[in-house]
Amino acid sequence: MRLAVTELLRRPGRFVLAGVVLTLISLLLMLLGGLLDGLIASSTGAYRAQPGDLISYSSRSENSLVRSRITASDRSVVSQTPGVQAVGGLGSIQLGARPGDDPKSRDPFATVLFGYELAPRGLPATPPAQGSVYADDVLAGDGVAVGDTLLLGPQRSPVKVRGFVTDTRYAGQASLWGSLATWRAVTTENRPGQTPGDTVQALIVETGASPPATVAQTIDEATDGRTTTLTVTRATQELPGVAQQTATFNQIIGVTVLVALVVVALFFALITVERTAQYGLLKAIGASGFTLFGGLIAQAIAVTLVAAAIGVGAAVVFAAVLPPGAIPFQATPARLAGNVGLMLLASVFGCAFSLRRVLRIDPASAIGS
Amino acid sequence: MTSSSSTATATGERRDQASPPALEMQDARKVYEVAGEDVVALDQATLSVAAGEIIALVGPSGSGKTTLCSIAGGLLSATSGSVVVGGQDITGFSARQLTEFRRTSVGFVFQSVNLVPFLTARENLLVVDELAGRAGRKGDAAARADQLLDELGLTARAGNLPGQLSGGQSQRVAIGRALMNEPDLVLFDEPTSALDSTLGDQVVKLIRDEMKARGTAAIIVTHDDRITHYADRTVHIEDGRVDA
């Protein structure tokens, strides 16, 4: 092992090509992973911030918040279902928001106004008074400040920003969080045909100690199938575009890891061929094939770790310098560690292609050559 | 009961006659299959090398010198016959046992590709100890390496990489490495072929002095008749047959 490390330190030029290619792959992998996480985060923040365990939609909505309507009577049934600890209504409307001092702005912020009863993470337990909202902090990056008034939709419905909340975006748009009364008033003004009345779009359900999956089934039975109740996690995964984005990015990431594996396999196969005489000599003086192969893996891991470290560093810096909301990019420790793990796996499996070649080198080749 | 005794050799050095022979090769045969046909590389070779004895193995190209050396050094297994090195019968050794045997019981000095190019002269000696792992290490390897480098006149070159050494210095480092594991037998594969005559003569003298000082046996494969003057005995080989 020390022999392999010594070679790496004394002949770094030999590994530069593989290092550069692996670094580029690492940068691509970290960028793809960061974009995927950023996109998913910007699509799902509003759901991930919910305090409950379950979300109930109307069954005809096909689990779409926009299409869902829960009546007051169904809400009452859900509230009384065994295992349900608390229920809160949730409503949403997607509208452009203009600064209060620029009502004719041609470049409104894309926002989603949520009306809530059970406070999502970071919001006060009691929703703000009608006409007031908390805004996702991505809007702060757009210049919105506490105390500003935003004008929503074609009717320029005014809402005053009381404060900011983090990581609550929905469908890539900044969220605004107010009371159900605010949501109803803004919706009635801007979408006269969709006046909510006493309905909400979905119910957030807290189950306490009861198993959420069991309670979900009980709720849907109690409403005679007029509701479809999902865990928040599953509802998050079923948000429009989330599964498709995840699958697409994961396929690209998979191909990238495969390319890393092929690069390591080809490079170290070439190095093994170049070292045939050296390996023959070392075997002749008592090195086993597995000792030599262990050295090869150690070198592959070292080169990969350097490449991965550069990728991680670049991802962290990239995430830090990006203005909020500019590009959906997140450098989470789990993603970065996962990518490093994938690259290490690729390097070990890539090296495995050279195992047979290393083991087959004849120590007798050192003599008589 | 056998008592240990010493006798003077023809060249004046002393070796312990109670030690087992460095090599006992009996009817060793090596057959290769080439294009579906058997090719005999070594034919019923019988050779005995006493402890501390230096043998010059002489023969034309393709005569079986390299095969004999490879079998004696555990690089190859004989197709039939028996091979005992320093009292160890290696005839039926597995590949793993042969690796261990090469690491602990024999030394090699090859014609080319002799040193690990990215290790210094001193590290090229210590690599033998490195390969032995923690369990297989013999005493203070660093001190032994330094002593060998001193004896070989290489102390000033200990930190040099092989690319910074002359041909003669490289061969001296290789000799030092071959002696690091205190072997029973050292095999030299044409050690002077890449050296000019003066340097070659110096290297052969050095080999002789080092082997005799340690009582280590050596087989020197050579085409060079001048080397035979420094050997205790010359063994001829032709068409795989040894004429001892």
Instruction: Render A328-369 in DSSP notation, one character per residue.
Output: -----HHHHHHHHHHHHHHHHHHHHTTHHHHHH--GGGGTT-
pLDDT for B14 equals: 42
Confidence class of residue B143 from pLDDT cuts 50, 70 and 90? Answer: very high
Stated pTM of the model? 0.81
Q: Which of A291, A10, A5 is nearest to B133 (CA)?
A: A291
Q: Of the candidates A49, A100, A27, which has an alpha carbon nearest to the alpha carbon of residue A329?
A: A27
> Phi first, then psi: what are they for B215, rounded to 5°?
70, 30
Whether B183 and B217 have beta carbons less than 8 Å apart is answered as no
Q: For A60, how many CA atoms within 13 A lie in the half-sphere containing its CB? A: 5
What is this model's ipTM? 0.85
Q: What is the pLDDT of residues A287-324, one digit of tens each?
A: 999 999 999 999 999 999 999 999 999 999 999 998 87
Interface of B with A in 110-149 (CB under 8 A): 110-114, 116-119, 123, 127-128, 130-132
Residues A15, A3: Cα–Cα separation, whole Å: 15
Query: What is the model's pLDDT at position B131?
Result: 83
Q: Is A68 in contact with A61 (CB distance < 8 Å)?
A: yes
Nearest Cα of chain B lies from the Cα of A11 at a distance, in angstroms, of: 7
**B6 has pLDDT over 50:** no
Rounded to whole angstroms, the Cα distance separating A209 from B215 reads: 83
Q: Do A281 and B114 touch (CB under 8 A)?
A: yes
* Residues B12-19, mean pLDDT to the nearest whole number: 50
Residues of A in contact with B130 (CB under 8 A): 2-3
User: Measured between CB atoms, does B39 come within 8 Å of chain A?
Assistant: no
pLDDT in tens, B21-44: 999 999 999 998 888 888 899 999
Residue of A278, A283, A367, A369 for testing the chain B interface, max B β-carbons within 10 Å: A367
**Is B77 in CB contact (< 8 Å) with chain A?**
no
Query: In this structure, are residues A111 and A186 in contact, taking their beta carbons and an 8 Å threshold?
Result: no
For B68, how many CA atoms within 13 A lie in the half-sphere containing its CB?
39
Min Cα–Cα distance to chain B from A269, Å: 20
Q: What is the pLDDT of residue A149?
A: 96
B9 pLDDT band (50/70/90 cuts)? very low
Of A280, A288, A368, the CB nearest to B99: A288
Report phi then psi at A309, rounded to 5.
-65, -40
Write out chain B residues lying below 8 Å of A285, CB-based: 102-103, 108, 127-128, 131, 177
- Number of residues that this document lists for chain B: 244
Please tell me which residue of chain A has the smallest CA distance to B72. A364
pLDDT score of B7: 35
Cβ within 8 Å, pair A285-B76: no
Q: Which of residues 162-221 of B touch A (CB under 8 A)?
A: 177, 181, 187, 189
Mind listing the pLDDT tens digit for each residue in A321-333? Answer: 988 777 889 999 9
Task: Give the nearest partner residue to A366 out of B104, B110, B132, using CB atoms.
Answer: B110
Interface residues of A toward B, Cβ cutoff 8 Å, are 2-3, 6-7, 10-11, 277-278, 280-288, 291, 362-364, 366-369
Nearest neighbour of A284 by CB, restricted to B75, B117, B119 = B75
Asked whether residue A369 carries a pLDDT value surpassing 80, the answer given is no
Mean pLDDT of chain B: 85
Nearest CA to A339 among A264, A281, A270, A252? A252
How confident is residue A114, by pLDDT bands cut at 50, 70 and 90? very high
Nearest to B27 by CA among B83, B72, B69: B83
| Better-predicted residue by pLDDT, A208 or A214 | A214
**Residue B138 binned pLDDT confidence (cut-offs 50, 70, 90):** low
CA torsion, ordered B22, B27, B32, B38, to nearest 10 deg: 170
